Amino acid sequence: MSATTLKRRKTTGEIRAMKGTGRPIVSLTAYTTPIAKLFDPHVDFLLVGDSVGMVMYGFESSLAVTLDMMIAHGAAVMRGAEKACVIVDMPFATYQESPAQAFRNAARVMVETGCDGVKIEGGPEMAETIRFLTERGIPVLAHIGLTPQSINAFGGYRARGRSQAEADHIMAGARAVEEAGAFAVVIEGTLEPLAQAITEASGIPTIGIGASVHCDGQVLVSDDMLGLFSDFKPRFVKHYARLAPQIAEAAESFAADVRARSFPAPEHTYQPKKDGPAT
């Protein structure tokens, strides 16, 4: 195969260059190789989110997610991604202590997964860390507004930007992460007019989740998008499928067949050949 026919994943630079093109940026979370393969042809970047803690491990929040978990899932997604850029979340307490701590852990993520960049939460308080990472070759996707790793400080999951002081802080955070070198910024759980104003003022792409249709792109947690949690649907989520009842029905049908001894049927078993041993 010649060098010109080799497949190449989209880069963080190409994601940044989509700002102002009029083409919305598409992203979904992924945590496994099979899902990454299914999503890869349709998205611009795959986000290996620390939401893995809730959707795959049953944690109440993302705070219990470890660096080793993110590396394992990041590597799994990389095995399924051929076209999409891959970004891995930095989990809680792996980057907040100091820029040096952030670099050590982010470098480990990059080396052990082969991903294209990392995501960290925070606005002005994280600007120094973002600059430290980007100046040392680690692309950063910033995250402002509702930042789930700070949920205990916020006092719960609620839309951000309702007070003028809060809105001013989020806007200042958007400016700070852009100036620090982030290639794009996620805006989560933020009042729509504020998210739109940030998008219009920012020189880097904004990726909305519970923000505004006017953001430069959108991301959703894949399990929410697929309807795998039928009893949980945040306001900002649209179910593009409702797989939870289908999966439950499939399990019910399998259990009924096993109990009725109708599965496995002859076509599902290995029988001896007439002229030789079983195969």
| Burial (0-12, 13-18, 19+ Cβ within 10 Å), 90 | buried
222 is in an annotated binding site: no
- Percent with pLDDT over 70 in the chain: 94
Angle between helices 99-113 and 67-78 (to 10 degrees): 40
The whole-number pLDDT of residue 275 equals 72
More reliable by pLDDT, 275 or 147: 147
Q: Which of 121, 47, 128 is nearest to 91 (CA)?
A: 121
Domain layout of the chain by residue ranges: 3-225
Q: Using 50, 70 and 90 to split pLDDT, how confident is the model at 276?
A: low
Active site residue 112: no
Q: Tens of pLDDT along 158-176?
A: 889 999 999 999 999 999 9
119 is in an annotated binding site: yes
Q: Tens of pLDDT along 114-155?
A: 999 999 999 999 999 999 999 999 999 999 999 999 877 766
The whole-number pLDDT of residue 157 equals 67
Q: Which member of 188, 192, 252, 267 is catalytic?
A: 188
The whole-number pLDDT of residue 5 equals 45
User: How wide is the angle at C-alpha 111 spanned by C-alphas 110 and 115, nearest 5°?
Assistant: 40
Q: How far apart are CA 143 and CA 128, in angstroms?
A: 14
Assign a CATH topology to domain 3-225: TIM Barrel (3.20.20)
Q: Tens of pLDDT along 64-122?
A: 999 999 999 999 999 999 999 999 999 999 999 999 999 999 999 999 999 999 999 99
The whole-number pLDDT of residue 197 equals 98
User: How wide is the angle at C-alpha 77 spanned by C-alphas 76 and 83, nearest 5°?
Assistant: 140
Is residue 1's pLDDT more than 50?
no
Q: How far apart are CA 3 and CA 7, in angstroms?
A: 9
Q: 48 has which bridge partners?
A: 88
User: How wide is the angle at C-alpha 25 spanned by C-alphas 246 and 124, nearest 5°?
Assistant: 110
Which tokens go with 99?
């820029």
121 is in an annotated binding site: yes
Q: Tens of pLDDT along 195-236?
A: 999 999 999 999 999 999 999 999 999 999 999 986 767 788
Is residue 271's pLDDT more than 70?
yes
